[in-house]
Amino acid sequence: MDGNKSTKDQPDWGPFGRPLFNDPKARALSRVGVIDVGSNSVRLVIFDGAARSPAYFYNEKIMAGLGAGMADTGRLNPEGRVRALNAIRRFVAVADSLGIGPLTAVATAAVREAEDGADFRADVLRETGLKIWVIDGQEEARLSAQGVLLGWPGSYGLVCDIGGSSLELADLAEGRVGRRVTSALGPLKLREISSKKKRQAYVKDTVKDLFSRMGEETGKRLFLVGGSWRAIARIDMERRGYPLTVLHEYRMTPGRVIKTLKYIEESDLQDLRARCGISDSRMSLVPYAVRVLREVVGRFKPKDIAISSYGIREGLLYEQMPQILRERDPLIEACRFAEAKDARLPGFGRTLYDFVMPLFPRANFQRKRLIRAACLLHDVSWRAHPDYRHEVVFDNATRANLGGLKHSERVFLGTALLHRYSNKREGSRFEDLFRLLDPKELQMAEVLGSAMRLGAMLWIDADEQPGKMKYSAKAGTLELTLKDAASPLFGEVAQARFNALAAALNATGEVRIKGARRPKKTD
């Protein structure tokens, strides 16, 4: 309860609950810095924003290759060790200059297995004051799975995280991490097996062992975590001519993955690298990852495959969240934070949601959350030039780092926001993306955008409804009844926007002013 207000006085926040980003526990997570010392890369990420769905305030990596050559020497790669230490020295300095609190640093397979791993950690501690925590394969699998949960609360399936020197699997059910296993199936290790025949046999036998240790279950959703998987997904997009090159939540079918793996094997890798924007160091590992993914897909037979850009680093953030925060919708919390930070009238998004919802009486929960997100974001880009706002909001919705959104949902959200600022979408540079929605979804997004465009003209107060809409698809009518206080706001522009909304619904519109004798009719 807030202050001394009674329960009766509390606002009804609906199915998404009260915003939490003003809660002290959420504010404490507003800036969290993580250094991930992997076998192939060393990365600093500083998270910022609504704690449940953080933005990447800072994100930098160095492809140090710490684990290269370890199969022969048992030690960290000397050049990689120097590069990693220099990178960590820089990362600590960056965090200090930005006023970030104590960094969390973790190391995975290369450092935990190398003979000189402890020496490397001692060097880092001596030169930077940073203590690196070495996590075992089981913990690596758990944190990667928790990273997936950061983006997909309540998800189920199999998380497969590939690093430079290892591969981990973790089972997800009802939003919780279950059985976990680890293996030495990283591309850096596979590259050091000189015989192709021996390499293939090793991959086959190892995946077979992982399958038996995971309980030999098939038909689950497969979440892929790791840079090598993301590179393969980017190549899949290139092969298909897919228009939205956002890797997070990109979906693939097992059959399509097999086609892409064959496509990679038959292509010139340098040409493919240039077309897909993949680094040389990453592309050199892709052929080994291809062999592993083919075996994993063949053995576990997933129902579908989803790319997760969230992994260990996001799992560490998830680890610090209170359970009440973990259970929140990451999309809604991120949109609430954006509204509170950037909208001209924070809080009006909830009022706008109630205003437009009579137009969508059959909306299910997933559709309602997209409508809620659109209403929260409807005014956060007002600083953009008026001629380009419709493009800015579409780009933001489709390409922003938002969790809990399928690609088609990104396009729906973007299209609705585009229509918040523009009556038409034909001829825009987003034509290719619109094909991710069917005609019915496009029409619904246009209706939502037109309704928000009208509602934005009728601001009375953040918490006060300007009026009510009543829509009958069967009768083909749309009625707007305005409160007396809102009637002065209903001028020529508002009338034009109401007409546009009625047209989008293929309805006859009628406007009533509460207390007035005659309604205003529109064609």
Report the DSSP pairing between strands 508-513 and 477-482.
parallel
| Domain extent at residue 290 | 137-312
Read off the pLDDT band of 172 (50, 70, 90). Answer: very high
* Domain-ending residue, one of 134, 154, 173: 134
- How far apart are alpha carbons 419 and 426 in whole angstroms? 11
Question: Are 232 and 86 within one domain?
Answer: no
Question: Are 55 and 200 within one domain?
Answer: no
Total domains in the fold of the chain: 3
Q: What mean pLDDT comes out for the span 149-163?
A: 92
Question: Are 109 and 242 within one domain?
Answer: no
Residue 90: pLDDT over 70: yes
Joined tokens for residue 341:
């930070």
Domain-embedded: residue 405: yes
Which residues have C-beta within 8 Å of that of residue 491, sequence separation ≥ 6?
A: none
Report the range of poorest mean pLDDT among 114-118, 384-388, 512-516: 512-516
Question: Are 56 and 43 within one domain?
Answer: yes
CB atoms under 10 Å from CB of 467, counted, come to 23
- How far apart are alpha carbons 137 and 183 in whole angstroms? 8
* Domain-ending residue, one of 82, 109, 134: 134
- How far apart are alpha carbons 246 and 136 in whole angstroms? 31
Q: C-alpha angle with apex 465: 461 to 471, nearest 5 degrees?
A: 150
- How far apart are alpha carbons 229 and 63 in whole angstroms? 16
Tell me if 135 sits within 8 A of 107, measured CB to CB: yes
Question: Are 228 and 354 within one domain?
Answer: no
Question: Are 437 and 305 within one domain?
Answer: no
Question: Are 142 and 114 within one domain?
Answer: no
Query: Domain containing 515 — which CATH number?
Result: 1.10.3210.10
Question: Are 287 and 433 within one domain?
Answer: no
Domain-embedded: residue 372: yes
- Render pLDDT for 422-445 as a digit per residue (tens, 0 to 9): 988 988 899 999 999 999 999 999
pLDDT number for residue 49: 55
Question: Are 358 and 482 within one domain?
Answer: yes
- Render pLDDT for 181-195 as a digit per residue (tens, 0 to 9): 999 999 999 999 989
Which residues have C-beta within 8 Å of that of residue 362, sequence separation ≥ 6?
A: none
Query: Domain containing 289 — which CATH number?
Result: 3.30.420.150
Mean pLDDT of the residues in the chain: 90
- E-state strands within 246-367: 251-252, 304-308
Joined tokens for residue 307:
């790319």
* Beta bridge pairs of residue 340: none
pLDDT number for residue 2: 39
Tell me if 234 sits within 8 A of 273, measured CB to CB: no
- How far apart are alpha carbons 448 and 357 in whole angstroms? 9
- Render pLDDT for 458-479 as a digit per residue (tens, 0 to 9): 988 888 889 999 999 999 999 9
- Render pLDDT for 207-260 as a digit per residue (tens, 0 to 9): 999 999 999 889 999 999 999 999 999 999 999 999 999 999 999 999 999 999
If you ran DSSP here, which 8-state letter would residue 464 be given?
B
Q: Pick the closest to residue 168 from 104, 213, 133 (CA basis).
A: 213
- How far apart are alpha carbons 252 and 233 in whole angstroms? 8
Residue 292: pLDDT over 60: yes
Residue 343: pLDDT over 80: yes
* Domain-ending residue, one of 134, 166, 200: 134
Domain-embedded: residue 323: no
Full strand arrangement of the beta sheet holding 132-134: 55-62, 42-48, 31-37, 104-107, 132-134
Read off the pLDDT band of 290 (50, 70, 90). Answer: very high
Domain-embedded: residue 3: no
If you ran DSSP here, which 8-state letter would residue 219 be given?
S
pLDDT number for residue 5: 41
Residue 5 class from Cβ within 10 Å (0-12 exposed, 13-18 middle, 19+ buried)?
exposed
Token pair 């509204």: residue = 339
Residues of the chain with pLDDT > 70, as a percent, come to 92
- How far apart are alpha carbons 390 and 418 in whole angstroms? 4
Domain-embedded: residue 9: no
> Could you tell me the CA-to-CA distances from 344 to 214, 230, 237, 452 in Å, in that order?
52, 38, 38, 15
Question: Are 109 and 193 within one domain?
Answer: no
- How far apart are alpha carbons 156 and 173 in whole angstroms? 4
CB atoms under 10 Å from CB of 277, counted, come to 10
Read off the pLDDT band of 337 (50, 70, 90). Answer: confident
Better-predicted residue by pLDDT, 368 or 154 = 368
Question: Are 307 and 427 within one domain?
Answer: no
162: left (phi over 0), alpha (psi -120 to 50) or beta: beta
- How far apart are alpha carbons 466 and 370 in whole angstroms? 22
Domain-embedded: residue 98: yes
Read off the pLDDT band of 46 (50, 70, 90). Answer: very high
- How far apart are alpha carbons 299 and 475 in whole angstroms? 55
Question: Are 128 and 152 within one domain?
Answer: no
Tell me the whole-structure pTM to 2 decimals. 0.87
Query: Domain containing 88 — which CATH number?
Result: 3.30.420.40
Domain-embedded: residue 348: yes
Backbone phi and psi for residue 275, each to the nearest 5 degrees, phi listed first: -70, -30
- Residue 302 is inside which H or E element, if any? none
Read off the pLDDT band of 113 (50, 70, 90). Answer: very high
- Residue 201 is inside which H or E element, if any? helix 196-213
Domain-embedded: residue 382: yes
3 state SS of 27: helix
Q: First vs last Cα of the chain: how many Å apart?
A: 48
Q: Pick the closest to residue 149 from 406, 327, 405 (CA basis).
A: 327
